[in-house]
Amino acid sequence: MTPVSHVVLTPVRVVIAKCQVDYAGRLSAHLPLAMRVLMIKADGSVLVHSDGGSYKPLNWMSPPCSMRIDDPSAIQVEAGFSEIWTVRQKKTDDTLVISIAEVVTEIEQELGTDPGLVKDGVEAHLQELLAEHIDTLGDGYTTVRREYMTAIGPVDILARDSAGSSIAVEIKRRGGIDGVEQLTRYLELMNRDATLAPVTGVFAAQEIKPQARTLAEDRGIRCVVLDYDALRGMDDPETRLF
């Protein structure tokens, strides 16, 4: 690589190099010379990984930050370094200095627009199954549509009960407080729509945490525990021995 002295803006760049890393700011940290994986993301963040430690980087700098690649000083050349990366955090002025001794390999790749996180397969299948068997929630229930879009995101299922009232159903594998808060926001918004109001909520999950159940019931949201195997037709009560 040819050393330069300006802000570097690139696609995702992965470098395997023997390097030393020094962090200075609210705290100081030093990583001695060793072989590591360096990742420079398009959003400006820089991460330093080793071969161990699971998915967590040994050190990193979050955006907004700038990066310079400079020629080493005479002392750094004597120490065996070929170039110096200086990453500076623009908000805090913290610095991450990566001293490169040897670059083994590097690649650059434009990743394009990320489609975002896709729902867990079981959770998505639960939504599909419950929409098909909406009477699990009560006699006379009908499905209006799945993924009913609101201004703040899609409600898993919009249904109607036997009286024709609107029901917003939020589905999780494990129901926690965050899921109840999410459904609460949907209900507040949907109840402003005269064509839907009044809208009540159902929080449906394979497992609902006690704190989430307490919060949901306090807000008038009904909790329903879903049996995945029963919805799939694998659990036939007539075939049970007990």
The CATH number given to whatever domain includes residue 20 is: 2.70.180.20
Distance, CA of 93 to CA of 142 (rounded, Å)? 58
Same domain, 51 and 74: yes
222 shares a domain with 126? yes
* Domain total in the chain: 2
29 Rama sector, left if φ>0, alpha if ψ -120 to 50, beta otherwise: beta
Q: What is the pLDDT of residue 104?
A: 96
In a domain, 116, yes or no: no
State which of 108, 129, 163 marks the end of a domain. Answer: 108
Q: Which pLDDT score is estimated for 240?
A: 40
Judgement on whether residues 54 and 131 belong to the same structural domain of the protein: no
Q: Which two tokens stand for residue 98?
A: 């990566």
From 108, 130, 163, the end of a domain falls on 108
In a domain, 197, yes or no: yes
Across the beta sheet with 12-24, the strand order is: 59-61, 46-49, 29-40, 12-24, 95-109, 83-89, 65-70
For residues 94 and 131, membership in a common domain is answered with: no
Residue 73 belongs to domain spanning: 12-108
Q: Is the pTM value of this prediction over 0.85?
A: no
Place of tokens 């400006």: 44
Domain boundary among 59, 84, 108: 108
Please tell me the predicted confidence (pLDDT) of residue 8.
43
* Same domain flag for 75 and 171: no
Q: Are residues 162 and 203 in the same domain?
A: yes
Splitting the chain (242 residues) into consecutive groups of 10 residues, what average pLDDT does each group show?
44 94 90 96 90 81 90 92 94 93 94 64 83 93 94 93 96 93 95 94 95 96 90 55 39
In a domain, 4, yes or no: no
The H-assigned helical ranges of 41-196 are 74-78, 121-132, 177-190
Domain shared by 96 and 23, yes or no: yes
196 and 230: one domain?
yes
Q: Which pLDDT belongs to residue 112?
A: 76
- Are 104 and 133 within one domain? no
**Pair (156, 47) in one structural domain:** no
